[in-house]
Amino acid sequence: MNDPWVRQGEIAAFIGLGSNQGAVEANLSGAVSALSRLEGVKLASCSALYYTEPQGVRDQPWFGNQVVLLRCDYIVWGAKALLRRMLRLEQEMGRVRQRRWGQRTIDLDLLLFGEQEARDPELVLPHPRMRERAFVLVPLLEIEPEMHLPDGERLADCLGRLSYSLEGDLIRQKDTDSIVKRC
């Protein structure tokens, strides 16, 4: 395997986290802690917490967002297994899926799993909308400033094409549902 994100039997998994219900900071911290306690998983890096405008459904509270880098034992974890465990963790933390882009106690998105690419009903890698979301790209680039997607596209170039602003820990972005600028 010639994947730069695989080394010493571990593969890098980048997870996007979001919350806008209840105790947002505690929800995010609890999710990071639960992910880091999984067997065969090490927390390698965690971005700062950013507060972002909701996209799609605008009449809801702002989100707290972060990105974490996990080092997953390549024998124990595949992308689908990790995604399934993340979805179970969302349920355990009280997530109820009522409407797309609606309020949630916790949202966990598998953004990247090494350089793997997947397109099936259960899993799409890289995450299909990450190139359009400043609330994903800003914290991801904080962790890995020179990051490239498996197709070679620089994430900094993707972020540069978005209409967004960053003021301290606040990210504002024009609604990606109505103005989508793809890389």
Q: Which residues are catalytic?
A: 95, 104, 107, 109
Residue 32 corresponds to which tokens in the numbers above? 């990071």
C-alpha 133, offset from chain centre: 10
pLDDT of residue 4: 72
Give the containing element (helix H, strand E) for 31. helix 24-36
Q: pLDDT (tens digit, 9 = 90+) per residue, 129-179? A: 999 999 999 999 999 999 999 999 999 999 999 999 999 999 999 765 443
Q: What homologous superfamily does CATH list for 6-173?
A: 7,8-Dihydro-6-hydroxymethylpterin-pyrophosphokinase HPPK (3.30.70.560)
Using only the alpha carbons of the chain, give its radius of gyration.
Answer: 15
Residue % of the chain over a pLDDT of 90: 76
Q: Where in the chain are the domains? A: 6-173
The whole-model pTM stands at 0.90
Sign of torsion over alpha carbons 155, 156, 162, 166:
positive
**Residue 125 reports pLDDT greater than 80:** yes
Q: pLDDT (tens digit, 9 = 90+) per residue, 38-69? A: 999 999 999 999 999 887 777 889 999 999 99
Q: 110 near 15, Cβ under 8 Å?
A: yes
